[in-house]
C-alpha cells in the first residue's frame, strides 16, 4: 500500500470515528436502499421541536435524497452522505433563513401544485387532487416556471428542494432565483 493510500485510509478512519461520536449528539436520519428510515433521538427531538410532521419531513428527505446531496426544508439544512450500493445518512442542521433572499411570491395554490409536482404526480392527478382543471394546473406551472426562472417540471422540483421553497407551513413564500 502506497503512502497516499495510507493517508487516505487514515482520513477515512478519522472521519468514521467522528461520525460514530456524533451518532448520539447530532440529529441524524438513516435511509436504507429500500427507502425505510431510522432516526436517532436527537433527530426526533429536532423535528418535533420545530413543530414539523415527522411523516411529511421524511417524505421530503426521501424525495431530496434521490436527487440531491444538500437541500433545505423550511429552516432546516439537510446534508446527505450517500453510500455505495444505496442508503444514505441525512444530517440535519438549523439554517438562518438562507432561502429567502429574493422574492418570487409563489401563491398558496402554486406551492400546492409544486408540492404535488415534487411528489411525481401528473398534471391530471394534480388537477383531481386540487379540484381544478388540467388547464388551470398548466397555468399554475407556467407561473411557477416564470417566477423560478426555469422552463420545466424537473428544474422546478430541483430548485424547490435545493432552495427550501417547499416549506412545512402553508403560506406565501419568498424564494431565491438561481
CATH code, domain with 37: 3.30.450.20
Instruction: Check whether residue 146 and residue 112 sit in a common domain.
Output: yes
The pTM assigned to this predicted structure is 0.61
Per-residue pLDDT reduced to its tens digit, 146-173: 888 888 888 888 888 777 776 654 333 4
Place of cell 428527505: 61
Look at residue 43 and tell me if it is in a domain: yes
Instruction: Check whether residue 88 and residue 116 sit in a common domain.
Output: no
Q: Grade residue 100 by pLDDT with cuts at 50, 70 and 90.
A: very low
Domain count, the chain: 2
Distances (CA, A) of 40 to 37, 43, 50, 77, 90: 10, 5, 16, 17, 11
Task: Kindly state the average pLDDT of the residues 46-67.
Answer: 80
Tell me the residue range of the domain where 35 lies: 26-94
Per-residue pLDDT reduced to its tens digit, 1-46: 556 688 888 888 888 888 888 887 899 999 888 888 899 999 999 9
Per-residue pLDDT reduced to its tens digit, 124-141: 999 999 999 999 999 999
Q: Grade residue 103 by pLDDT with cuts at 50, 70 and 90.
A: very low
Look at residue 17 and tell me if it is in a domain: no
Residue where a domain terminates, one of 94, 127, 148 = 94
What is the layout of strands, in order, in the sheet containing 70-73?
Answer: 37-39, 28-31, 88-94, 76-82, 70-73
Amino acid at each position: 500500500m502506497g503512502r497516499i493510500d495510507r493517508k487516505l485510509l487514515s482520513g477515512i478512519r478519522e472521519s468514521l470515528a467522528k461520525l460514530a461520536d456524533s451518532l448520539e449528539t447530532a440529529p441524524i436520519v438513516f435511509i436504507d436502499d429500500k427507502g425505510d428510515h431510522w432516526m436517532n433521538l436527537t433527530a426526533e427531538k429536532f423535528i418535533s421541536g420545530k413543530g414539523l410532521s415527522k411523516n411529511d419531513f421524511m417524505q421530503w428527505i426521501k424525495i431530496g435524497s434521490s436527487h440531491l446531496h444538500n437541500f433545505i426544508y423550511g429552516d432546516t439544512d439537510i446534508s446527505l452522505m450517500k453510500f455505495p450500493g444505496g442508503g444514505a445518512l441525512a444530517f440535519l442542521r438549523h439554517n438562518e433563513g438562507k432561502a429567502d433572499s429574493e422574492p418570487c411570491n409563489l401563491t398558496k395554490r402554486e406551492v400546492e401544485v409544486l408540492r404535488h409536482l415534487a411528489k411525481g404526480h401528473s398534471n391530471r392527478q394534480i388537477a383531481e387532487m386540487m379540484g381544478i382543471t388540467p388547464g388551470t394546473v398548466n397555468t399554475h406551472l407556467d407561473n411557477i416556471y416564470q417566477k423560478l426562472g426555469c422552463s420545466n417540471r424537473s428544474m422546478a422540483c430541483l430548485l424547490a428542494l435545493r432552495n427550501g421553497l417547499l416549506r412545512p407551513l402553508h403560506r406565501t413564500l419568498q424564494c431565491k432565483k438561481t
